[in-house]
Amino acid sequence: MPNPDKKKAYQKVVAARAHYDQVLAQTDAAMLALRTPAPGTNEVTITNAMHNQVTAPLWSAEAALDRAEAAHQKIPVRLPLGELSPGQQVLDTETKLITHAIRMAAFNTATTLAREIRTNTGYARATEEAHTLARQALTGSGDIDTTTPGYLIIRLDPLPTARATTAIRELCQHLTTTQIRYPGTGLILRYEIKNRP
């Protein structure tokens, strides 16, 4: 797994580098001021003590940058999952494949419903909001009714807005006309929207 400490250490390197650049600019400005003679004089004498005093913050910033870079280099890029999250396990290949298959099926379902909303409903903003509306319908609540012989009725609760509810009602009517049987049974799927109380 990616080591989260590596990213934190890199942020410290970025901050140290920015601080170094800032101090470097300040040091250059200070050195220029030292080398510039005062009005009325032709030469300037810069002593070692003056030079050291001006450059001391730069050496300190450079040392801090070196320490940050060295600390960043020492941290491994990846760690075993057990070290980051004790008790968690990496999924075996079959479980991963099943998980990916479920995700792909869910994505395909949502995409198909969004396409059906665009083509088989009168929803005015279907081009921009079809995927959002399909997600709302899939995550909303409802009931499953098996009391009608030969049918499996999916009865959804109304959505938050009237126009969204109307669009999903039209989608339900369209899906019901396809007369799809629930897999492994002889029951025909019927979709409905509950009336508001």
Average pLDDT score, the chain: 89
* Reported confidence tier of residue 192, pLDDT bands at 50, 70, 90: very high
Cα distance between residue 21 and residue 36, in whole Å: 23
Q: CA–CA separation, 180 vs 183, rounded Å?
A: 9
- pLDDT at 89 (0 to 100): 65
Tell me what the mean pLDDT of segment 73-78 comes to: 92
**Which pLDDT score is estimated for 197?**
63
- β-partners of residue 3 are none
Token pair of 31 as six digits: 């050195």
Q: What pLDDT was estimated at residue 97?
A: 87
Q: Where are the alpha helices (DSSP H) in the chain?
A: 4-35, 48-74, 81-84, 93-120, 126-139, 162-177
- Taking only the tens place, the pLDDT of each residue in 104-155 is 999 999 999 999 999 999 888 888 999 999 999 999 899 999 999 999 999 9
pLDDT score recorded for residue 95: 82
The domain ranges of the chain are 4-81, 93-193
At 16 the pLDDT is 95
Yes or no: say if 191 and 154 are a contact pair by the CB < 8 Å rule.
yes
pTM: 0.51
